[in-house]
Each structure stands twice: as C-alpha cells, then as structure tokens.
C-alpha cells in the first residue's frame, strides 16, 4: 500500500463521518508509559478510540468489508492529546504590561469568562486535549467546567477546576484565592468549594520565592496539621488536593499531610522526593514562570544579583527534576499558564522543552504530559493514553517529537472528537 499524502490532503480521509477510521503509522506513542511502538494501528470513530496497538484491528471494528487502512503513514508519529495540569485561564499570560495585568484582575466575571473560553478553545489546534485549572476566585474555571459538561461545549478541551483556591487572610494568593477564615474550619471550607462545583481542592501552603534572597523566606501559610485536616475533609468528599508549595518547610508539611499533588515544589530535596514517590504524591514542577524571569531579567528591571539567583533556582530545579525521574516520582507537566509571560498553550509547549532541557528524555517528558497525568489526577474522562474507550483526541506529526519535544511547536494534525485540525494556532494573535 502506498503512503498517504499531506495533512491537508488527509483531512477527508481522517474524518470519521462515514464510519470508523483505521490509521496505520510508523510510530505510536501510547502514553501509558514512556515506551515507543513501531508499526502501530489506531481505529477510532467520532466519540472514542476503538483499537490501538501493534496488531491490525479486528474486522468487526472496521467499516463493512474493509481490509486495508484508510491511511498508511509510515513516516508519521501518533501520540495522545496533551494535558496541561496547571493553568489559570482567567489570566492572560501573554500580556507583558504589569499595569494592564493589574487592571485585568479587576474586570468583572462577565468580561473575563468569554476571554477565558476563547483561550481554552484555541488550545485544541495546538494538540492540548485537557487542562487542570489551578484556582480563580471569580469562578471562571467552574463556569467553563460546567460548560464542558453541557451539550453546548463544542470542541472544548476537557477541563476541571477547584474554584477559588484556599489561603489565610492577609497571606499570599488573594488574586486567585478566598480565605478559609470565611468558613472557620477546613471541613467547612472544603464543603463550600464542593457545593460550588469544585472538582478538586486547591490549597496555598506557602508564599512565593523571594527573588532578592533566592529562597522562600516567609513562614508557610499552613502547617502540617492544618493541611492534614484539609486533605481528610477533601477525601471524605471524594476530592483530590493540589497544593501550591515551595521551600523545604512547606514541602515537609505537604508530605506529612499526604496531599495528592505538589505544585511548583522549588527547593525540594532528595529525601523529600523519595517520600513523594513512596506516598504517590504527584509533582508538577512548573519551570516556565521562573524561566521567563530569567530570560527577560533586563526588561523586568532585575539586578545582576537577582538574575543570578533566578538562574541558580532554575538550575537547582532542573537537578531535582532529573533526580525525581531517577527515583520514580510521578512527574506531571503543567505550565502555570496565565502567569507573567506564560501564554496558554504555547507556554505549555515551552514548559515541555524546559523539562527536556533540564535532563529528561523526550519520551519521559511526553509521558508527564499524557499518561502520568491521566493516571494520577482523578479526571472524569479516560485521557492521556491511546486505549480503547478513550476519547478520540490525538496528534499526528511528521516531526521527531519522540527525540525533541520542541518539534511539537511545528505543524501537525490534531484529531479531536471527529474533527481534523491542520491549521494550528497563530502565535502572534493576542489573548493567550
């Protein structure tokens, strides 16, 4: 059988309008782990994957009397749609002007919601099939989550959200969080968030890094006992906890509480990484926001001392990432998009580049953005892996993404719920 043609020419062939589509590719990355399958077969219809593996599909999964693939693509790689596991859709990460960013935070939810929905919908053509929101007090994430679960969602990536993050009044995070003091106890606070529709609970265990000192200098917001109470209250209601945390003391509190995921985790040490593995705590390292500060130190007005601190922080974080992979920690990719300089979608693709630059193999990075997230983070859909019954959302590419994740930024074909996207996203268009 002769190889099939370009992405544009394949659009009609790859569309399941007239029945299941059988694609035979040279390379298949299933997402369940970091392994690569050669000479792979995938069959899908508009709603789900019917077959994925190295053996041809059974005849009953195909169109009547079909004996050959709809597309034979020996030079292509097929991999699952990606999952960005830390986003803030209510924020425009690509907006560089600090005054405009501050003004944006004061806009009413009625203005923020359509902007956030537009950002979310642009992610599909980049190959991002799902996002995990990380907190906003305007309930933009919860509104989008409700829309995703409705019949009006259209071609919207999977999304779940925690609603407002939880912090202590007067401590870091007021732009995305509401204080637990509003409800008195961890249990009452969790009940409030769940009643509003939260799919998970976002906690702010610490503040942020003091760039001038090159360390987390403030005392943690929540001690081990308080975090434990939040974790127990969340699990009693079937919810996971995702915890903003950096600094050794804060990480220690998270370990004692057995949280579900540590977000950021700067300055984590090797012993703590070992216990994260033992307790099955996922780590979302989010390089992109700090790397942006490094890359734009001069424009941001940072001194040479601060710039050196930033570089040292990123270098140490890279060493921790490699050590985490060696130890078997469940590493999950998340961009913290919406943060200053981290555009939605494109910032996530850059996050994957930074993880590979830190020392992970391309396949380990891709697993962190697919199956590692899908297996651990308690999503409502079977996402992140090419398995029968999972939604038909995947990427088809001619590039060497399994050796260089930067090539995910190049032209590719995205199949999403029966629709074939070949045009991609225009990075010059503002709004992300």
pLDDT per residue over 344-358, tens digit each?
999 999 999 999 999
**What tens digit of pLDDT does each residue of 276-292 get?**
999 999 999 999 999 99
Does residue 55 register a pLDDT over 60? yes
Closest CA to 147 of 179, 117, 115, 167: 117
C-alpha distances in Å from residue 296, one per residue of 96, 232, 246, 291: 11, 41, 22, 9
pLDDT band at 237 (very low <50, low <70, confident <90, very high): very high
417/101 Cα distance (integer angstroms): 34
Mean pLDDT of the 370-398 span: 96
pLDDT band at 8 (very low <50, low <70, confident <90, very high): confident
pLDDT band at 3 (very low <50, low <70, confident <90, very high): low
Q: What is the pLDDT of residue 207?
A: 97
CATH fold of 7-80+385-421? Urease, subunit C; domain 1 (2.30.40)
Judge contact between 205 and 253, C-beta under 8 A: yes
**What tens digit of pLDDT does each residue of 181-208 get?**
999 999 999 999 999 999 999 999 999 9
Taking the whole predicted model, whether its pTM rises above 0.95 is answered as yes
22/16 Cα distance (integer angstroms): 9
**What tens digit of pLDDT does each residue of 310-330 get?**
999 999 999 999 999 999 999
Does residue 259 register a pLDDT over 80? yes
The DSSP secondary structure of 313-354, one letter per residue, reads HHHHHHHHHHHHHHHT--B-----BTBTT--TTHHHHHHHHH
Domain positions in the chain are 7-80+385-421, 82-376
Which architecture characterizes domain 82-376 according to CATH?
Answer: Alpha-Beta Barrel (3.20)
DSSP code, position 337:
B
Does residue 152 register a pLDDT over 90? no
**What tens digit of pLDDT does each residue of 119-142 get?**
999 999 999 999 999 999 999 999
Q: What tokens appear for 95 in the block?
A: 């907006």
- 241 C-beta neighbours (distance < 10 Å), count: 27
107/129 Cα distance (integer angstroms): 28
HSE at residue 174, side-chain half, CA atoms within 13 A, is 6
Mean pLDDT of the 79-105 span: 95
Mean pLDDT of the 238-255 span: 98
- 431 C-beta neighbours (distance < 10 Å), count: 13
Does residue 1 register a pLDDT over 60? no
The mean predicted confidence, pLDDT, of the chain is: 96
């Amino acid at each position: 059988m002769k190889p099939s043609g370009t992405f544009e020419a394949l659009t009609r062939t790859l569309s399941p309008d007239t029945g299941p589509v059988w694609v035979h590719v040279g390379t298949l990355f299933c997402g369940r782990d970091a392994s690569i399958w050669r000479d792979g077969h995938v069959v899908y219809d508009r709603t789900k994957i019917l077959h994925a593996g190295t053996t041809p599909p059974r005849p009953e999964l195909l169109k009547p009397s079909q004996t050959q693939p709809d597309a034979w693509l020996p030079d292509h790689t097929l991999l699952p749609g990606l999952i960005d596991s830390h986003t803030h859709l209510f924020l425009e990460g690509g907006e560089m002007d600090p005054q405009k960013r501050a003004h944006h935070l004061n806009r009413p939810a009625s203005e923020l919601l359509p902007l956030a929905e537009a950002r979310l919908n642009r992610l599909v053509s980049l190959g991002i099939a799902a996002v995990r929101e990380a907190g906003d007090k305007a309930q933009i994430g919860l509104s989008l989550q409700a829309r995703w679960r409705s019949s009006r969602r259209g071609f919207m990536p999977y999304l779940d959200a925690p609603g407002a993050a939880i912090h202590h009044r007067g401590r870091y995070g007021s732009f995305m969080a509401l204080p637990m003091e509003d409800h008195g106890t961890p249990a009452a606070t969790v009940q409030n968030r769940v009643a509003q529709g939260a799919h998970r609970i976002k906690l702010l265990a610490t503040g942020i890094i003091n760039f001038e000192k090159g360390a987390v200098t403030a005392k943690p917001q929540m001690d081990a006992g308080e975090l434990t109470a939040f974790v127990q209250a969340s699990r009693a209601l079937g919810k996971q906890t995702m915890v903003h945390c950096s600094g050794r003391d804060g990480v220690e509190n998270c370990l004692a509480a057995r949280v579900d995921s540590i977000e950021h985790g700067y300055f984590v040490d090797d012993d703590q990484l070992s216990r994260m593995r033992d307790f099955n705590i996922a780590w979302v390292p989010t390089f992109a926001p700090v790397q942006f500060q490094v890359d734009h130190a001069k424009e941001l007005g940072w001194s040479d001392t601060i710039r050196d601190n930033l570089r040292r922080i990123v270098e140490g974080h890279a060493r921790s990432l490699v050590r985490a992979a060696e130890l078997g920690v469940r590493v999950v990719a998340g961009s913290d998009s919406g943060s200053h300089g981290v555009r939605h979608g494109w910032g996530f693709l850059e996050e994957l580049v930074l993880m590979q630059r830190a020392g992970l193999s391309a396949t380990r990075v891709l697993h962190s953005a697919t199956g590692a997230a899908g297996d651990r983070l308690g999503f409502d859909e079977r996402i992140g892996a090419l398995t029968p019954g999972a939604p038909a959302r995947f990427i088809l590419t001619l590039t060497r993404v399994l050796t260089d994740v930067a090539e995910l930024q190049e032209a590719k074909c995205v199949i999403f719920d029966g629709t074939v996207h070949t045009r991609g996203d225009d990075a010059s268009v503002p709004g992300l």
